[in-house]
A and B are shown apart, each in its own frame.
Chain A
Amino acid sequence: MLHMIAADAGAGPVDINWLSLVTTIVVFMLFFAVAATMVWPKILKGLDEREQKIREEIESAEAARAEAAESLARQEAALNEARREAKAMREQAKADAEAYARDLRLQAEAELDALRKQAHREVDVAREAAIKDLSAHAAELATAVAGRIIERELSSADQQDLVESSMKEMASAPLG
């Protein structure tokens, strides 16, 4: 069957069918005319616009990345500055506390020293008073003892002389 169909063409594979050639020219001209006006301008424009869009997006992303890096650097610098200030404040507070403690200690020591001196003074006064009382009492006691020993009464002038002489002796004598 195909032999019959093939025979219709009446040409070998390398024979040129001129009508085919003309048909090709006409058909391709039609194809090219439509494609050149309605297809390729649209496709090439679309591809160019996409390429442009991608390029813009890449540039925008790079700019955003650079801005983010710059912002990060700024924040890190601010953070470092804050840390440095905090450290300075901490050291200042520590120094202030130490100074305050030292002042308190000095003040306490001064007050203590004043109290100690006051106490010493009061002790000295009390000792002198006690010595005086003891001297008087000892004189009276010695007089009474001496009067009983010598069994005579002394006049007031004698007694006064005896007391004064005894006092001088007691004052010159070392305390036991």
Chain B
Amino acid sequence: MLQLFLAAGNPINHVTDKNVVALTDEYNLTLHMVSLVVACFVGLFVLLISAKAIGTGKEDLGTPRYLTKGRLPQLVEVITLYLLENAIRPVLGHDADKFTPFLLSIFFFVLTCNLMGLIPIVDVQHLAGHFGMIDAHWALVGGTATSSLGVTLGLALFSFAAIQYQGFKSLGVKGWCHHLAGGAPLYLLPIMLPVELMGMIIKPVALAIRLFANMLAGHTLLAVVAGFGVTAWNLSTGNVLVTGSIELVAVVAAILISFLELFVAFLQAFIFMFLTTVFIGQMTHHHDDHSDAHGEEGIHDHDGLPDGLAKVKIT
């Protein structure tokens, strides 16, 4: 039965997208698409509940109206405050308020998708299919949507849009073009322009690939480790001690890696949001006196980070 949970033959199969229903000859509705929609509603449901709990209550409640009741809203509040105070405001400064809703939305959306991938929803559906309740080959929803490159590229498009919006808004068309030229002399423009244009696109693409690769790799690792137990079972050595030992090690390792995946789910959501924040911050004109490598006052250089995180380097 464990084979139902794990693709022992090829662990990658466990984490790749599956078709749910054919829409046209060319396009199919897939598990990750359905998961995206479910993650959207689950995330909104949690956030709406949290917003109600975090928001200030009626005046007749007295001081307790400022308190947040409920563990989930408190968790959302702690995360929100941390992101605001340690990532968004230090990097964006005065522009933080403008981008806060977008950045928090993208964080919680990615986080919800990542966390939903840790819940074995597909496996439960396959189990139901095994008992004849539904088609054993079919699942409607489940999997990690963010382990699909199409999904992460879609999210990265929003980051790209936000970065360029801030560039035009803060620097103006002239400043944006100057930034695109990298501040280099005109005779270097044929080199600098393609490089900067590529850099402009590579940044969000790197965001997408980083998120996709981390989520795919984590779940693949989990499938591989758990697959050891399945392989040992299938080999049927006859030696219960050997098979049992391998099964035990595989299960313990899978549990430990699941905890690691839980951490990675939060970490990757944070990194996606934080790097978007940093890229937006790099396109921000600062009204201070320091000049950067471009030689123009207030525009960040490509390697440096904005004010609050000048010494932080993200690799």
State the A residues within 8 Å of B (CB).
1-6, 8-25, 27-28, 30-32, 34-36, 38-47, 49-50, 53
State the B residues within 8 Å of A (CB).
3-4, 6-7, 9-10, 12-19, 23, 27-28, 30, 32-33, 36-37, 40, 43-44, 47-48, 50-52, 54-56, 63, 66, 68, 76-77, 80-81, 84, 100-102, 104-106, 108-109, 126, 136-139, 145, 147-151, 153-155, 157-158, 216
A20 touches B81 (CB 8 A): no
In the bound complex, residues from chain B placing their C-beta under 8 Å from that of A16 are 149-150, 153
Top-3 shortest CB links A-B: A24-B154, A20-B150, A6-B13
Given A20-B32, A28-B109, A28-B155, residue A1 in contact with residue B126 (CB < 8 A):
yes
* Interface of chain A: mostly helix, strand, loop or mixed: helix
A9 touches B17 (CB 8 A): yes
B138 CB to closest chain A CB (Å) equals 7
CA distance A110 to B224 in the complex (A): 126
A35 touches B44 (CB 8 A): yes
- Interchain CB contact (< 8 A) of B138 among A5, A17, A28, A40: A5
B101 touches A20 (CB 8 A): no
Given A1-B137, A3-B10, A43-B55, residue A20 in contact with residue B158 (CB < 8 A):
no
A14 CB to closest chain B CB (Å) equals 6
In the bound complex, residues from chain A placing their C-beta under 8 Å from that of B104 are 35, 40
Given A4-B137, A25-B154, residue A20 in contact with residue B17 (CB < 8 A):
yes
A52 CB to closest chain B CB (Å) equals 10
In the bound complex, residues from chain A placing their C-beta under 8 Å from that of B84 are 47
| Inter-chain pairs besides A31-B109, A43-B51, A50-B66, 6 sampled, C-beta below 8 Å | A1-B4, A6-B18, A15-B149, A23-B36, A39-B47, A40-B100
In the bound complex, residues from chain B placing their C-beta under 8 Å from that of A35 are 44, 47, 101, 104-105, 108
Q: Pick from B18, B84, B216 the residue with the most CB of A within 10 Å.
A: B18
Q: Pick from A4, A24, A40 the residue with the most CB of B within 10 Å.
A: A24
In the bound complex, residues from chain B placing their C-beta under 8 Å from that of A42 are 51-52, 54-55
In the bound complex, residues from chain B placing their C-beta under 8 Å from that of A5 are 13, 18, 137-139
A2 touches B51 (CB 8 A): no
In the bound complex, residues from chain B placing their C-beta under 8 Å from that of A17 are 17, 30, 32, 148-150
B66 touches A53 (CB 8 A): yes
A21 touches B150 (CB 8 A): yes
B13 CB to closest chain A CB (Å) equals 4
In the bound complex, residues from chain B placing their C-beta under 8 Å from that of A31 are 40, 43-44, 105, 109
